[in-house]
A and B are shown apart, each in its own frame.
Chain A
Amino acid sequence: MNMPVSQEKKKIFVTVGTTQFDELVTRVLHPDMLEIMEAQGYTHLIIQIGRGPEPQIPTSQRIQITVYHLKESISSDIKDASLVISHAGAGSCLEVLHAHKPLIVVVNQKLMGNHQLELAEKLHSERHVVMCYPETLKTTMTVFNTSSLENLPINNQMALSNYIEKLMGF
């Protein structure tokens, strides 16, 4: 039988969090971006768009695109992905880093008093993520190299519990 050779799946997961970040969604769906993704061997693009409007999905491309608004948990999408492109929300960033997935953080400059920038810059300066802006995402994606990233050190999980128990006299 002449079956097509099953291609290995290579997924990109894009997440904007619980609000919306339409500029990011538009940018990842731009034909140029899709072309770069294809050239890098990605086969699937999964986009979580939050409260944003349903985007127009380009028709002629080889990469398979899935879009959804919100999900109870995005951990399985993170787990399945070879690359995650995320908004700068701390929750999303840490979840991706805990899963040891390469991460591009796109900062939303339209947010008021953007405190998310602090964490993104810090993680970028310590080479745990690559940070960029919607306008620079294309360039970032072109030169992105996962081997330049370092895993986030393990957090001090029990420290708070120990501290409070001692303080409260247990």
Chain B
Amino acid sequence: MGSGGHTGEMVRLLSTLDFRHFSPRLYLVARTDDMSAKRVQQLESSHISTAGLFQTVSISRSREVHQSWITTIVSFLQSTLECLRILFYYQPDLILCNGPGTCVPPCIIALLLRVLWIKRSTVIFIESICRVNTLSLTGKLMVCFLADRSIVQWPELHAKYPQTVFLGRLV
């Protein structure tokens, strides 16, 4: 889960899933992002099929808005190490992400765990509705390297990146 808009969009996407099929659930939120943790709590308590367990784990933010690039590298490495511990322990079958900075480290770890034959997680990236013509930086990383499937929400973007999946507007 990521800040503001990303979280809102993710909550909307998750609310359409049948949680009985996706259980247990682990939510990664940035440590300073109380809003997202709260939204997760709301989603879980209001969801129609609240079967199974969920937990919310906070990780360091890989990049705060306006943070300098040098300190970004440090905090990025820090959150990647945290993700290594979490994902090694949790071994998810499916990773869903929609593009906040927080979502890059876990996807890198998922790739690592796959290369090491420890766990093969399916990574699905859903680009934000905001992106009509261009992919975000995270989006480019996801589409080119990290995600098994990347979903975009506008035909213009799908035409530019034919390797993506277009399912219409999702939110």
Chain A interface residues (CB < 8 Å from chain B): 17-19, 89-91, 94, 115-116, 118-119, 121-122, 153, 155-161, 163-165, 167-168, 170
List 30 A–B pairs whose Cβ atoms lie within 8 Å, in order of A's numbering. A17-B4, A18-B4, A18-B35, A89-B4, A90-B128, A90-B129, A91-B4, A115-B130, A115-B134, A119-B130, A119-B131, A119-B132, A122-B132, A122-B154, A153-B169, A155-B169, A155-B170, A155-B171, A156-B168, A156-B170, A157-B170, A160-B17, A160-B151, A160-B167, A161-B18, A164-B17, A165-B21, A167-B122, A168-B122, A170-B21
Residues of B within 8 A of A165 (CB): 18, 21
A94 and B171 contact, CB distance less than 8 A: yes
Residues of B within 8 A of A19 (CB): 4
- Taken together as a complex, chains A and B put the C-alpha atoms of A115 and B4 apart, in Å, by 14
A118 and B18 contact, CB distance less than 8 A: no
B16 and A157 contact, CB distance less than 8 A: yes
- Taken together as a complex, chains A and B put the C-alpha atoms of A89 and B130 apart, in Å, by 8
Main SS of the interface on chain A? helix
A-B pairs with lowest CB-CB distance, top 3: A156-B168, A159-B167, A91-B8
Residues of A within 8 A of B122 (CB): 167-168
Residues of B within 8 A of A167 (CB): 122, 124, 149
B2: min CB distance to chain A, Å: 12
B134 and A118 contact, CB distance less than 8 A: yes
A69: min CB distance to chain B, Å: 14
A158 and B16 contact, CB distance less than 8 A: yes
Chain B residues within 8 Å of chain A by Cβ, number: 33
Asked if B57 is an interface residue, CB under 8 A from chain A, the answer is no
Asked if B48 is an interface residue, CB under 8 A from chain A, the answer is no
A156 and B167 contact, CB distance less than 8 A: yes
Residues of A within 8 A of B134 (CB): 115, 118
- Taken together as a complex, chains A and B put the C-alpha atoms of A119 and B21 apart, in Å, by 33
- Taken together as a complex, chains A and B put the C-alpha atoms of A90 and B130 apart, in Å, by 6
A101: min CB distance to chain B, Å: 17
B167 and A163 contact, CB distance less than 8 A: yes
A156 and B21 contact, CB distance less than 8 A: no
Asked if B9 is an interface residue, CB under 8 A from chain A, the answer is yes
Task: Indicate with 1 or 0, residue by residue over B130-171, a CB within 8 angstroms of chain A CB atoms.
Answer: 111110100000000000010100100000000001011111
Extra contacts, 7 of them, besides A89-B4, A160-B16, A167-B122 (Cβ < 8 A), are: A90-B5, A90-B128, A91-B4, A118-B133, A160-B17, A160-B167, A170-B21
B31: min CB distance to chain A, Å: 18
